Chain A
């Protein structure tokens, strides 16, 4: 057939032939799914599997690196001696090595110079490993607290309705009118620099989306019969939240949070690139990239490589999150 038929339907359409009049009882609201279900679901899609493996590696590296740095701090040792770079690559991410300044990526001294070195002769690979805990903590903590805040604000607004709801919605409108980067710059300038204040700034930016999501959930659920029944039997708002809203939100939240963790890392890296929230001497990924700017374009890899690392990690989150979005029909309602 020379001309392809343009009517492309979702595969489900074909099965409607078979299933549309089946008399199964309507699906009840709670779908109990174990951890295994999500693992299996992701594993069926190769790009998503790749993404999940990268995320796993990133989190494991971050955990070990973070534990080493914390242990060093507890023992009043310099964290610069206890880190993956020093242990695995025998290249301290902070020690100056003037003989090895600005070297391009190579297999020399493998794997020390795999990603090249910076202007102080430090291995970029080692520096990148050293900074993993910050990115992991930022993504987990910001998304986690945003979900938590959004859940309480959103469900109470949706559940109480009226004025509370109206004010909340307009407030999120105002929040969403500001680009994340601009708002983050503003907040971190106002409360001063540093990692913690940056986390606060990012959380302040991130909660409104989740509040909207949970509000929508609360509104749908409020009108459903089983919540009415539950209300009549005397359960309070908190119980409805725990019993009905949270179990119903698992799938969309997992999908959205996975994508969002990538976005947080991206925003965090972008702010670090601008030098916002950067502690001096701490090799943030974004900051590494911008510190290479003065050697651009001659030693271009210095700026580009940290950027590529960020991209790889964020792509991993995107691939996994994209797959999980299919689980909820590719649509996030908030």
Chain B
């Protein structure tokens, strides 16, 4: 296994492409993605549905759907190339290196087994990979401890329930606790809060932020809500139509976004401080990925569109500390 040059990065993506086979022909869900996540860093990936942000998350842990495949570039996770992993390597990577939380709380736990069984499974798997012995009672204690860590009230009773007896917020906490049991270096969260109530959402986000510091994990937080991204991460990556259009520190991005799409995303966020009564919606509809627009993929919806945008794809340039792909700055 080749070790990445930069040992600082837990995730290092270079020019990654992922393609879906479909009945209508190949769909390039990700094209030429570059992304680095440092150890202990929290990065948000923001984009609308279909921008490829979830595909990027699944690609990181080698859980792409059957009809999708890595078609170019490299994805290094903790110094190892994910695309070429198989069998035991995959099993060791999942859980130990990275853990992923999914979107739909109704679907995310096995409906036919109890919480304790599902959590113990995680401990047992970790023990197997670490070649340590597994003790049922200690494991159970540890599971309860982790549930306490995720601020779950009355963990001893929760752990004996079935998933359908828990609320959405409780389920996401259980899943996070399960992740903590695995002690991963990287936690990927694919819109874990979008199905929850706003108050619960805020609690879960706060929890993730705290746990990240406590356990010194890296977090990749996938969301469509730039507001949430700002709250949880050090850095924001904005994706559009399978490409990264802008990335930079959270503060800078939200205050001074460069790319017209990122600007539009921020304008569409309702805030109490906004004096104007109108929210700005992004005009037009997301691109058809079977036949994406030529040149810059955002040009059909861009208010600053120029001739060059329709023909040539912009290169990444650095503007005020943000990496941005737009002809306005190129």
| Residues of B close to A21: CB separation below 8 A | 48-50, 285-286
CB contact between B27 and one of A2, A3, A17, A20 (< 8 Å): that residue = A17
Q: Which of B64-72, B204-212, B230-238 contacts A (4 or more CB under 8 A)?
A: B64-72
Given contacts A2-B87, A14-B27, contact A7 B50 (CB under 8 A): no
Q: Which of B17-25, B150-158, B253-261 contacts A (4 or more CB under 8 A)?
A: B17-25
Say yes or no for B289: interface residue by CB 8 A criterion.
yes
Are A14 and B49 interface neighbours, CB within 8 A? Answer: no
Are A15 and B50 interface neighbours, CB within 8 A? Answer: no
| Residues of B close to A13: CB separation below 8 A | 65, 67
Say yes or no for B86: interface residue by CB 8 A criterion.
yes
Say yes or no for A18: interface residue by CB 8 A criterion.
yes
Question: Which residue of chain A has the shortest Cβ distance to B290 in the bound complex?
Answer: A18
Instruction: For the complex formed, measure the closest distance between the CB of B326 and the CB atoms of chain A, giving whole angstroms.
Output: 23
C-alpha spacing A8/B64, complex, angstroms = 9
Q: Which of A1, A4, A15, A18 has the most CB of B within 10 A?
A: A18
Are B86 and A17 interface neighbours, CB within 8 A? Answer: no
Given contacts A3-B87, A5-B66, contact A20 B21 (CB under 8 A): no
| Residues of B close to A6: CB separation below 8 A | 66
Within 8 A of B (CB), among A1-45: 1-9, 11, 13-23
Are A7 and B65 interface neighbours, CB within 8 A? Answer: yes
Are A3 and B67 interface neighbours, CB within 8 A? Answer: no
| Residues of B close to A18: CB separation below 8 A | 27, 50, 287-290
Say yes or no for B180: interface residue by CB 8 A criterion.
no
C-alpha spacing A229/B269, complex, angstroms = 39
C-alpha spacing A9/B97, complex, angstroms = 26
Interface size on A, residues (CB 8 A): 21
Count A-B contacts at CB 8 Å: 66
| Residues of B close to A15: CB separation below 8 A | 22-24, 27, 290
Are B49 and A11 interface neighbours, CB within 8 A? Answer: no
| Residues of A close to B68: CB separation below 8 A | 14
| Residues of B close to A16: CB separation below 8 A | 50
Question: Which residue of chain A has the shortest Cβ distance to B63 in the bound complex?
Answer: A7
Are B86 and A1 interface neighbours, CB within 8 A? Answer: yes
Say yes or no for B296: interface residue by CB 8 A criterion.
no
What 0/1 readout, one digit per residue, does chain B (107-137) give for beta carbons within 8 Å of chain A? 0000000000000000000000000000000
C-alpha spacing A17/B86, complex, angstroms = 27
Are A17 and B48 interface neighbours, CB within 8 A? Answer: no
What 0/1 readout, one digit per residue, does chain B (38-64) give for beta carbons within 8 Å of chain A? 000000000011101000000000111
| Residues of B close to A3: CB separation below 8 A | 86-87, 90
Question: Which residue of chain A has the shortest Cβ distance to B58 in the bound complex?
Answer: A7
C-alpha spacing A53/B299, complex, angstroms = 52
Are A14 and B21 interface neighbours, CB within 8 A? Answer: yes
Say yes or no for B187: interface residue by CB 8 A criterion.
no
Are A14 and B67 interface neighbours, CB within 8 A? Answer: yes
Question: Which residue of chain B has the shortest Cβ distance to A18 in the bound complex?
Answer: B289
Given contacts A11-B22, A22-B285, A23-B285, contact A17 B65 (CB under 8 A): no
CB contact between B65 and one of A1, A14, A19, A20 (< 8 Å): that residue = A14
C-alpha spacing A19/B287, complex, angstroms = 9
C-alpha spacing A89/B103, complex, angstroms = 69
Are A11 and B285 interface neighbours, CB within 8 A? Answer: no
C-alpha spacing A295/B286, complex, angstroms = 72
What 0/1 readout, one digit per residue, does chain B (3-35) give for beta carbons within 8 Å of chain A? 000000000000000001111100101000000
| Residues of A close to B288: CB separation below 8 A | 18-19, 22
Residues of B within 8 A of A (CB): 20-24, 27, 29, 48-50, 52, 62-68, 86-87, 90, 285-290
* 17 additional A-B residue pairs with CB within 8 Å, beyond A17-B289, A21-B49: A2-B86, A3-B86, A4-B66, A5-B65, A6-B66, A8-B66, A11-B67, A13-B67, A14-B21, A14-B27, A14-B65, A15-B23, A15-B27, A17-B29, A17-B50, A19-B288, A21-B48
* 9 nearest A-B residue pairs (beta carbon): A14-B20, A14-B22, A8-B66, A18-B289, A2-B86, A9-B65, A7-B65, A11-B23, A18-B288
